[in-house]
Amino acid sequence: MSVETRVEQKLPQGVGRLTPGWLVFFAVSFVVFVIGIGAYSYQLSNGLIVTGMRSTGTMGGATWGLYVVMVEYFIGVSLAGVVLAAFVEVFNIGALRPVSRLAVLLTIASLSTGVLGVLLDLGSPFRGFVNMLLYVRPQSAFFGTFMLVAVGVLMTSLVYLYLGGRRDAATIAGTPSGLRWFHKLWAAGYRDTEPERERHRRVMFWLSIGLVPLVIVALSTEGLVFGIQVGRPGWYGSLQGPDFIVLAAASGLANLVVLTAIIRRAVGARIPLGHAVFKWLGSLLLAATAASLYFQTVKTFTLLYATPGNERLIADALLRGPYAWIFWSSLVLMVVAMILLVSQAATGAWSVPAVVAASVAISTAAVAERYLTVIPSQTHGMLLPYEPGSYFPTWVEFAVVGGLFALGAILIGGFVKVFPIINLNSNRREVRTDA
């Protein structure tokens, strides 16, 4: 295509250049996404009966299943990106500046999928959307999910992404291409004058200052969704919020590491994603994983001492019961990741594959952890002597969740083809050389 050929040589980081690898990636994502839509339509017309979810109690099911597990996971993942970007902004951490846009994009993508996941889980999604606007109650923890996370954090991240990219947009808006209108629109008249830069720095500073507590508070409500439940063994407690945040940070950083590695490989070594970035990310991941593992260990010990009675139901289910394999494997994954990260930190020899491996382990463990938070307290946490229940997702749930992942992939994958994912102005010289 002529347009492509023209822009190919002009725009940085492969923007506008559809490589075969990217096309395959995008096509696969698209197919998975369409399958997800198909599965969801099936669910919409038949009801949630097509999922593995069932009522708790007499029906012996879990009324919240994989969707909520993944919502918790996605929203958790979203934490790290925008917070990292804010830190970069506030503390001016140059080494991480290249990935700050990717980080914010990760937040936006995972928040979008997470919030969409909430809607997909509703019995009456359309009514849910409207009634949330009309009636949502602050006393319900969903107020946090809806107002603070879905609206507050997501919109702030969008503003963050937008304002943060304006300078780069202006930079590439001069390059003739089929996307030039878009870049111009984004730049919105930015001319990189000193007052503009100053204003930008000021806005970003205050936005970052406001953003961090908002994100922490908003995402803590995700933990609170469970933490305020007096009626469920395994849930009630003030640690649910912090626990959620710590694991969120770890899983978010892990995802960022993986994404960075992918971008690095896809876009090539010419972009400023050296070992320094992975060292930073690896170190941060190490800190988050350590904290998470600490929470996990404390939790495990507490479970071991659970007294006969309600909490014991959950303890037994987790440590010895039907969820033991998930519980122990996730713990093993965390420990393995920890060993990988600590050994690198100790030797100072950071290897990209090793950090990525640790990240994959942590991300997987995070899904498992979210699962263990959401499900067992429903199937095994009934305070009345109902028989223990069980839950296993159906193909519909797997397909819909697959669709959510695909949507995230499409958002990120699509973005990198219309806008430079690595901050052009983080290392202007290199970028210029590149161009």
Site for another protein in 349-378 (CB under 8 A): 378
Q: Does 203 bind another protein (CB under 8 A)?
A: yes
Interaction with another protein in 384-403: which residues (CB under 8 A)? 384-387
Contacts of 256 (CB under 8 A, 6+ apart): 80, 81, 84, 99, 102, 103, 106, 281
The residue among 316 and 416 lying less far from another protein, judged by its C-beta, is 316
Q: Which of 239, 230, 344, 228 is nearest to 286 (CA)?
A: 344
Least spacing, CB of residue 60 vs another protein, in Å:
7
**The binder of another protein chosen from 28, 298, 383, 428 (CB under 8 A):** 383
Q: Does 213 bind another protein (CB under 8 A)?
A: no
The residue among 341 and 372 lying less far from another protein, judged by its C-beta, is 372
Interaction with another protein in 156-185: which residues (CB under 8 A)? 156, 159, 162-163, 166
Least spacing, CB of residue 121 vs another protein, in Å:
7
The dihedral through the CA atoms of 47, 70, 356, 268 has a sign that is positive
The residue among 146 and 350 lying less far from another protein, judged by its C-beta, is 146
Interaction with another protein in 104-133: which residues (CB under 8 A)? 121-128, 130-133
Distance CA 173, CA 165 (A): 12
**The binder of another protein chosen from 1, 5, 9, 230 (CB under 8 A):** 230
The residue among 155 and 324 lying less far from another protein, judged by its C-beta, is 155
The residue among 16 and 381 lying less far from another protein, judged by its C-beta, is 381
Contacts with another protein by CB under 8 A: the residue count is: 77
The dihedral through the CA atoms of 418, 420, 341, 86 has a sign that is negative
Least spacing, CB of residue 365 vs another protein, in Å:
24
Distance CA 17, CA 6 (A): 10
The residue among 203 and 335 lying less far from another protein, judged by its C-beta, is 203
The dihedral through the CA atoms of 132, 136, 138, 140 has a sign that is negative
Alpha helix positions (H), 92-193:
100-121, 125-135, 141-143, 154-173, 180-187
**The binder of another protein chosen from 2, 20, 135, 213 (CB under 8 A):** 135
126, burial (CB in 10 Å: exposed 0-12, middle 13-18, buried 19+): exposed
Q: Does 90 bind another protein (CB under 8 A)?
A: no
The residue among 197 and 265 lying less far from another protein, judged by its C-beta, is 197
Interaction with another protein in 239-298: which residues (CB under 8 A)? none
**The binder of another protein chosen from 181, 206, 325, 392 (CB under 8 A):** 206
List Cα–Cα distances, 233 to 226, 317, 343, in angstroms: 10, 11, 37
Least spacing, CB of residue 325 vs another protein, in Å:
21
Q: Which stretch binds another protein (CB under 8 A): 104-112, 286-294, 309-317, 358-366?
A: 309-317
Distance CA 341, CA 282 (A): 7
Report yes or no: 354 and 344 within 8 Å, Cβ to Cβ.
Answer: yes
Q: Does 195 bind another protein (CB under 8 A)?
A: yes
Q: Which of 340, 376, 322, 323 is nearest to 257 (CA)?
A: 340
Q: Does 46 bind another protein (CB under 8 A)?
A: yes
Distance CA 310, CA 321 (A): 15
Angle, helices 100-121/240-267, rounded to nearest 10 degrees: 120
Q: Which of 411, 133, 95, 154 is nearest to 281 (CA)?
A: 95
Could you give the angle at the alpha carbon of 286 between the alpha carbons of 280 and 291, nearest 5°? 135
The residue among 203 and 262 lying less far from another protein, judged by its C-beta, is 203
Q: Does 429 bind another protein (CB under 8 A)?
A: no
Q: Does 217 bind another protein (CB under 8 A)?
A: no
Q: Which of 270, 271, 263, 375 is nearest to 317 (CA)?
A: 375
Least spacing, CB of residue 424 vs another protein, in Å:
18
Q: Does 308 bind another protein (CB under 8 A)?
A: yes
The residue among 179 and 225 lying less far from another protein, judged by its C-beta, is 225
The residue among 380 and 417 lying less far from another protein, judged by its C-beta, is 380
- SS3 for 254-315, per residue? HHHHHHHHHHHHHHCCCCCCCHHHHHHHHHHHHHHHHHHHHHHHHHHHHHHCCCCCHHHHHH
Q: Does 192 bind another protein (CB under 8 A)?
A: no
